[in-house]
Amino acid sequence: MELSLPLLSVKNLGRQLGDRWLWRGVSFELRAGDCMGLVAPSGAGKTLLMRNLVVLDPIQQGEVRFEGKTPAEWELPAYRSRVMYVPQRAIALDGTVQDNLKQVFDLAIHRQRQFQPDTVCTWLKQLGRGPEFLNLTGSRLSGGEAQILALLRALQLDPQVLLLDEPTASLDAATTAKVEALLHDWLRQPERACMLTSHDTEQIRRVTHRQLNLGDFV
């Protein structure tokens, strides 16, 4: 039986800064159910790789495909609705947490969806937070609270691939464990995959099924 297409396929990706290649020849596939750890020393370009995967920076070498099509073939807004990057330093806009969550539905690509407060409150309960979290002021969130906001903002848009850059770096151990459990539940849904970076090597071992070491592509 023929295997289905991978969700995300990356071939010979390369990133150059000045006259130096940070990495080149990076190739991998993410299939449904995969959670891959992206590991490398600080400064090796893990965040830059994730930015390349969603074409926030131009692709200098190689190609990225989602379900067999390039980002341009999907058109970027549609591609980024399926392959979603969650940065380590989350940005909170003016207004409450709920305002922040609802604002993304103003974007044309998401207008067919609606904010689902019951679903969000279920996730908040899993993360040890009550519905009052939605009333917090976005600009006054702690680093950990902003990371929770960023994760909820992504999950509610129902992406198929999550690219998580240090998603629990500002969270305490108890909340980190709850985030990991929530991600585990999310991955059990059909056609879902994840890539994750973390300075916590134990977290990489706990959460991911395999690792990609950028140091192998220098």
Tokens read off for 217: 């592509």
Confirm if 175 and 146 have CB atoms less than 8 A apart. no
Query: Which pLDDT value is given to residue 89?
Result: 86
Share of the chain above pLDDT 90, in %: 88
Query: Which pLDDT value is given to residue 43?
Result: 82
Inside any domain, residue 19: no
Share of the chain above pLDDT 70, in %: 99
Backbone phi and psi for residue 10, each to the nearest 5 degrees, phi listed first: -120, 130
Is residue 35's pLDDT more than 50? yes
Inside any domain, residue 203: yes
Number of Cβ within 10 Å of residue 34's Cβ equals: 20
Give the count of domains, the chain.
Answer: 1
Inside any domain, residue 71: no
Tokens read off for 177: 């464990």
In angstroms, rounded to a whole number, what is the distance separating the alpha carbons of residues 100 and 189? 25
Query: Which pLDDT value is given to residue 184?
Result: 96
Using pLDDT thresholds of 50, 70 and 90, give the confidence band for residue 1. Answer: very low
Inside any domain, residue 4: no
Q: To the nearest whole number, what is the mean pLDDT of the chain?
A: 94
Query: Which pLDDT value is given to residue 5?
Result: 86
The tens digit of pLDDT for each residue in 132-164 reads: 999 999 999 999 999 999 999 999 999 999 999
Inside any domain, residue 160: yes
The tens digit of pLDDT for each residue in 48-86 reads: 999 999 999 999 999 999 999 999 999 999 999 999 999
Dihedral angle, C-alpha 35, 2, 28, 166, nearest 10 °? -20
Question: What is the pLDDT averaged over residues 6-31?
Answer: 95
Inside any domain, residue 94: yes
In angstroms, rounded to a whole number, what is the distance separating the alpha carbons of residues 63 and 58? 11
Query: Which pLDDT value is given to residue 8?
Result: 98
Query: Which pLDDT value is given to residue 42?
Result: 82
| Helices 173-187/143-155 angle, 10° precision | 10
Question: What is the pLDDT averaged over residues 181-209?
Answer: 96
Where in the sequence is the domain holding 125, given as residue range(s)? 35-56+80-212
Inside any domain, residue 21: no
The tens digit of pLDDT for each residue in 86-114 reads: 998 888 888 999 999 999 999 999 989 99
Q: What is the CATH number of the domain that holds 95?
A: 3.40.50.300
Q: Is the pTM of this model over 0.85?
A: yes
DSSP H or E run through 24: strand 20-30
Query: Which pLDDT value is given to residue 185?
Result: 96
Using pLDDT thresholds of 50, 70 and 90, give the confidence band for residue 3. Answer: low
Inside any domain, residue 144: yes
Query: Which pLDDT value is given to residue 48?
Result: 95
